[in-house]
A and B are shown apart, each in its own frame.
Chain A
């Protein structure tokens, strides 16, 4: 249809609507947990995981039972507010060391993550370790992946009943023992059993069962859900990743197009890649993901798919390493190991290492030169200053003297900072092992020897056997 003047009209082209919409499915806003049935696998990384289980759990379960002289070697006595770590006796005032330890741990985490990805997640995180232990129990009682799926889908037979009951029994025992051990870091573990038996100490009982329940729930049921939905570290560590970070990678160039084949066929002639699509890497994954989809936040870097794939590659007589620990740059540019190693010393890694080393040295030095004696001074709150017989002016102080050694000590108190300043009260004081005491100290100066106002004075508290000396500042008030 032409307009009357014969000129063609401007036409705005309209694209044809797509013949069919992309295939969609209806989904709920909430996702039901799909139970993961990891197949057990052996290999280098599976072995490393077990080594880490042994190391961490020997320390965790064993440490509270070791003695240091007359006392537990590691004990955080919250009631008495004394923290015993090997030869050290720490007071709440030593909180800075806990801060230091946490900063060092955080930086170490950053460093390991920058270099080798989620090493912590895959090998030493308690969530991983306890899940590993609980899965091993499950595997021993109910069998491997396919047997467990069959058992879960099947009816409640006698076999299912006793297997499930036995599993629960073992799980609960391990959980209870874990809770017991945990509380054993805070109250003497050798007395804890008796206390629980006599139902003495309600908070101990609460924490044994609370920590036990947390272990049972997290390692028995929540498992990968903890890593996917609860753990903040899983989410923020992507900030520490770069293209030279070691991660579990699938080499799509080599693997694709994937497809089944028999060993005899020349698969390259058929246009197939190295991946035989056996799905073993998916079956062994403790978080139930497919590593062939690429780097994803659910991957905890445990390397079990590497073990699984290598087993298959060996059987097929293909070269290993279709799934391997590598860097994203490494896979893209076909780098060798030494080429990737060269990229380890990059600014990010050097920066983390530098701070970490400095902090470790600082903390060690601080612990070595630490004086096992602490003094806090509180001026008396009733009398600012008073005139006493003999023409003297008196100020009163309360000194909290904390003996951070494990022997009784005699301390000598002296003061300086003003002319004629004298300690009138008893200058020597005996304090028992790891005890603290409040001592009232009176200082006097001759009346009129100092101008009205506030004067800085120092208390020197010295251990008589020369195990440390502490100087603390306070003020001496002279009234107008």
Chain B
């Protein structure tokens, strides 16, 4: 996309730039030819305020050549790099290109560091200290913004250090989650459930599933309504990782605990998104990151 709305402004800017440089060169040329009268006592002969005389202290000639060099440099630079209006420069340099080149170079430099982990099993990478140091840095830079520095998440951002997995906790599941991202959708279910009282009763039943404090009368009334939820969360409420439907029996409340929070969820639904990292991170980085995330809930040694 051009930065100029019309070609006139491109020519206008380029013209001013070139005129400025040429004017500098002209000024330099004229002053280098000019001779001034200088008295034998090295004054210019100018006298002000009775006895204030101007000494003749000319600039060193090599200094003038520095100016000449800057002018030559300016022309060479403007020929090579973008600078004159829309002229792209002979080298074809762009900021985006330089950024991409630096990223590619950095990835190429990092490649050997990661290569060692390519053929390793996730369990072994998680036990490797060097890999975990890399993983920690990757996590802090790319994941901690949402999941927290300690990976324990916060409201609506899942805790990654427990055994509760929305989309599955095997290394392959985690890799897929990081690589492609995930979308968890809870549709608004109020119409399917019934009256507001039905929704409240259902909320009490959901609370009862995890053994949380609840009103058992209302819960028993709400139990019948749970059929509306069972399609995703299962009849027993244990959820379904294939759909990203959370387990409702484990007393882990991603979007808030209590009747009000559950009622709001049933009425309004929720779409929760984990963005895909494939474009940002290389497959090798995702490989190490997978092991780091997996390792948080599967302590090396403890699992065996």
Using a CB–CB cutoff of 8 Å, the interface residues on chain A facing chain B are 22-33, 225, 228-229, 380-384, 386, 389, 396-398, 425, 438, 440, 442
Contact = CB atoms under 8 A, between A and B. Distances in A.
Contacts of B200: none
A27 B56 contact: yes
B149 interface: yes
Nearest to B63: A229
A440 B153 CA distance: 13
29 contacts: A22-B40, A26-B35, A26-B36, A26-B37, A26-B38, A27-B37, A27-B56, A28-B34, A28-B35, A28-B58, A29-B32, A29-B58, A30-B58, A30-B63, A30-B64, A31-B61, A225-B62, A380-B144, A381-B144, A382-B144, A382-B146, A382-B149, A383-B153, A389-B251, A396-B148, A396-B149, A396-B152, A442-B150, A442-B152
A228 B154 CA distance: 66
A24 B45 contact: yes
A27 B44 CA distance: 10
A380 B149 contact: yes
Contact of B61 (A33, A228, A381, A425): A33
B117 interface: no
Given A30-B32, A30-B59, A25 B40 contact: yes
B31 A29 contact: yes
A380 B147 CA distance: 10
A217 B145 CA distance: 52
Given A31-B61, A33-B61, A228-B60, 10 more contacts: A22-B39, A24-B38, A24-B39, A25-B40, A27-B58, A28-B34, A28-B61, A229-B63, A382-B154, A438-B140
A440 B150 contact: yes
B196 to A, nearest CB: 27
Contact of A33 (B36, B62, B145, B153): B62
A380 B148 contact: yes
Contacts of A383: 148, 152-154, 157
A217 B131 CA distance: 49
A229 B150 contact: no
A398 B150 CA distance: 9
A311 to B, nearest CB: 29
B155 interface: yes
A440 B59 CA distance: 61
Contacts of A27: 35-38, 56, 58
A425 B150 CA distance: 10
A22 B45 contact: yes
Given A30-B60, A381-B145, A24 B150 contact: no
Contacts of A382: 144-149, 153-154, 157
Contacts of B154: 382-384, 386
A165 B289 CA distance: 61
B62 A29 contact: no
Contacts of A24: 37-40, 45
Given A22-B45, A380-B150, A381-B144, A30 B35 contact: no
A30 B61 CA distance: 5
A37 B31 CA distance: 30
B60 A31 contact: yes
Contact of B32 (A28, A438, A440): A28
Interface in B125-144: 140, 144
B126 to A, nearest CB: 18
Interface in B87-101: none
* Residue from A33, A228, A389, A440 having most chain B Cβ neighbours under 10 A: A440
B125 to A, nearest CB: 21
A386 B61 contact: no
B145 A29 contact: no
B47 to A, nearest CB: 11
Interface string B38-79: 111000010000000000101111111000000000000000
A440 B160 CA distance: 15
Contacts of B39: 22-25
A386 B56 contact: no
Contacts of A23: 39-40
Contacts of B35: 26-28
- Name, among A28, A32, A228, A442, the residue most crowded by chain B CB atoms within 10 Å (CB to CB): A28
B199 to A, nearest CB: 24
A4 B56 CA distance: 54
Nearest to A27: B38
A25 B41 CA distance: 10
A396 B64 contact: no
A382 B149 CA distance: 8
B37 A25 contact: yes
Nearest to B145: A382
Contacts of A33: 60-62
A168 B147 CA distance: 64
Contacts of B149: 380-382, 396-398, 440
For the complex of A and B, the 10 pairs showing the least CB-CB separation, nearest first, are A383-B154, A31-B58, A27-B38, A382-B148, A24-B37, A30-B61, A26-B35, A380-B149, A440-B150, A440-B149
Most A CB contacts (10 A, CB to CB) among B32, B38, B152 go to: B152
B133 to A, nearest CB: 10
A2 to B, nearest CB: 38
A229 B66 CA distance: 13
Contacts of A442: 150, 152
Contacts of B58: 27-31
A381 B149 CA distance: 8
Nearest to A384: B154
A31 B145 contact: no
A386 to B, nearest CB: 5
Question: Of B38, B45, B62, which is in contact with the most chain A CB atoms at under 10 Å from its CB?
Answer: B62
A425 B161 CA distance: 13
Best-buried of B61, B147, B153 by chain A (most CB within 10 Å): B61
Contacts of B38: 24-27
Contacts of A22: 39-40, 45
A195 B40 CA distance: 58
A286 B209 CA distance: 95
B24 to A, nearest CB: 15
A438 B153 CA distance: 18
Contacts of A32: 61
A474 B157 CA distance: 24
B164 to A, nearest CB: 12
Nearest to A26: B35
Contacts of A26: 35-38
Contacts of B34: 28-29
A183 B60 CA distance: 32
A386 B152 CA distance: 10
Nearest to A23: B40
A31 B59 contact: yes
A225 B150 contact: no
Contacts of B45: 22, 24
Contacts of B61: 28, 30-33
A442 B153 CA distance: 13
Interface string B10-46: 0000000000000000000001101111111000010
